[in-house]
Amino acid sequence: MSIILIGMNHKTAPVNTRERLSISCKDNDALKVIKSISQVREAMYIATCNRVEVLASVEDVEKGLEKLKTFIFSHGNLSREEMKECLYVYRDVDAVRHLFRVASSLDSLVMGEPQILGQVKDAYRHSVEQKASGIILNKLLHRTFHVAKRIRTETGIANNAVSVSFAAVELAKKIFGYLHDKTALLIGAGEMSELAARHLLNNDVNRIIFANRTYENAVRLANDFHGVPVGFDLLEDKLKEVDIVISSTGAPGYIVTEEMIVKALHRHKNRLMFIIDIAVPRDVDPAVEEIDNVYLYNIDNLQEIVDENLRSRVEEAEKAEAIISEEIINFTNWLNTLEVVPTIVSLKKKSEKVIEWELEKSLSWTRNLTEEEREKIRILASSIVNKILHDPITSLKEESQNSGADPYVAAIIRLFRLEEDD
């Protein structure tokens, strides 16, 4: 039995290719089709916007691999050229390593992001529900979740912000300490504002005001994030209510001026205001930085933070790779022992039969014993046999971890005549 992982991701395939396969793989029948391949014993697929992968334990690796390729080719409406350019294949240890790296976000577009682990868990849950997983994938996926947790707790791979919007919110937290009593104003309705809103809500900000030149877009974001929409005509008034301003528009000139901030702070002499200007060209007059109690950062300031954090994550990734290497050894040791399990089971079954035979032969002198006394004799006999078999079974498991158990298995089958029992 071998483990195969076949797929494509953001590194190997353009988005239009991934889209086709991702949409088709969301079909609930896809896993049934994979499982129906005669060489496939267990299977799971992961379909996200950045990757589509099939994980399977298979018999007859070459035939199983070709049929899985055919499935992806036909199900994703891919050309042979696309498959050749985009598809990657990992086997056994390499497949395990890749899965560990994926779940730990080492293979993600943004290293350290937490979403992929949830997506892997969802894929495994679906595999279990479809009865497509078994002893190998169950063990592998639970080990995968353990590895991801170790990397999260033992490294700092997810500690630092690596997107501009995330860095902006993290910076606000450093300045204020906490955000649960703060009001934020997001100017603009683009992707940056959406990401910033999501991060602000994740940090329990009290209220978000959305301002946009097109009022309908402000309403859309406010509905999505339970905020308050306003038009640009109310921007100056709303500055008086907020603690955090994050601006990202395509305006050609300054939207927030020095005079507007001075007026906003006039009523509260000791109030702090944190302003992030993500726009290029800038939305906020640089003169605002000279106002007391105002912290102004622009896109270049944040990019420096992001770049430094990315370097930090790369360093932490080296620690994560060491954890993965250690856990691969643990899993492969367990996997190798599966090869000797049938022999161990047969050996124990034969010993149990011998005990039962001998106990039946002894009925003439045990008939006068109580049931409790006969049970004690049975337990004693089993204990003696188990102790005799303990060392051979332990040695067999140890040899299996180095893939050297075949001659020992053959010897045990012959010495104990296990093939006759089969």
Average pLDDT of the residues in 287-302 = 89
**Percent of the chain at pLDDT exceeding 70:** 93
Domain boundary residue among 124, 154, 184?
154
Q: How far is CA 143 from the centre of its chain?
A: 12
Domain boundary residue among 105, 127, 154?
154
Residue 308 maps to a domain: no
**What band does 275 get if pLDDT is binned at 50, 70 and 90?**
very high
Q: Annotate 195-264 with DSSP letters as a single string.
A: HHHHHHHHTT-SEEEEEESSHHHHHHHHHHHT-EEEEGGGHHHHTTT-SEEEE----SS-SB-HHHHHHH
Instruction: Say if residue 316's pLDDT is above 90.
Output: no
**What band does 168 get if pLDDT is binned at 50, 70 and 90?**
confident
Residue 310 maps to a domain: no
pLDDT at 138: 95
Residue 325 maps to a domain: no
pLDDT at 421: 60
Tell the residue number behind the tokens 């679906």, with chain if given: 126
Instruction: Say if residue 408's pLDDT is above 80.
Output: no
When comparing pLDDT for 67 and 113, which is higher?
A: 67
**What band does 23 get if pLDDT is binned at 50, 70 and 90?**
low
Concerning whether 49 is annotated as a catalytic residue, the answer is: yes
CA distances to 41, 45, 347 from 56, in Å: 7, 9, 30
Residue-wise pLDDT tens digits, 207-250: 999 999 999 999 999 999 999 999 999 999 999 999 999 998 88
CATH number at residue 53: 3.30.460.30
Instruction: Say if residue 96's pLDDT is above 90.
Output: yes
pLDDT at 55: 96
- Tell me, yes or no, whether 55 and 87 share the same domain: yes
Residue-wise pLDDT tens digits, 260-271: 999 999 866 678
Residue-wise pLDDT tens digits, 118-134: 999 999 999 999 999 99
Domain boundary residue among 99, 127, 154?
154
The catalytic position among 49, 135, 314, 354 is 49
* Whole-number Å distance between alpha carbons of 259 and 287: 10
CA distances to 144, 228, 348, 413 from 382, in Å: 38, 74, 10, 21
Q: Structural domain of residue 132, as residue ranges?
A: 2-154
Domains identified in the chain, total number: 3
CATH number at residue 193: 3.40.50.720
Judged by DSSP in three states, 5 sits in strand
- Tell me, yes or no, whether 150 and 170 share the same domain: no
Residue 316 maps to a domain: no
- Tell me, yes or no, whether 280 and 245 share the same domain: yes
* Whole-number Å distance between alpha carbons of 200 and 209: 12
77: left (phi over 0), alpha (psi -120 to 50) or beta: left
When comparing pLDDT for 23 and 339, which is higher?
A: 339
Residue-wise pLDDT tens digits, 377-406: 889 989 998 898 888 888 877 777 666 777
Instruction: Say if residue 337's pLDDT is above 80.
Output: no
* Whole-number Å distance between alpha carbons of 372 and 327: 47
| Of the candidates 339, 200, 331, 333, the residue with the CA atom closest to the CA atom of residue 276 | 200
pLDDT at 333: 82
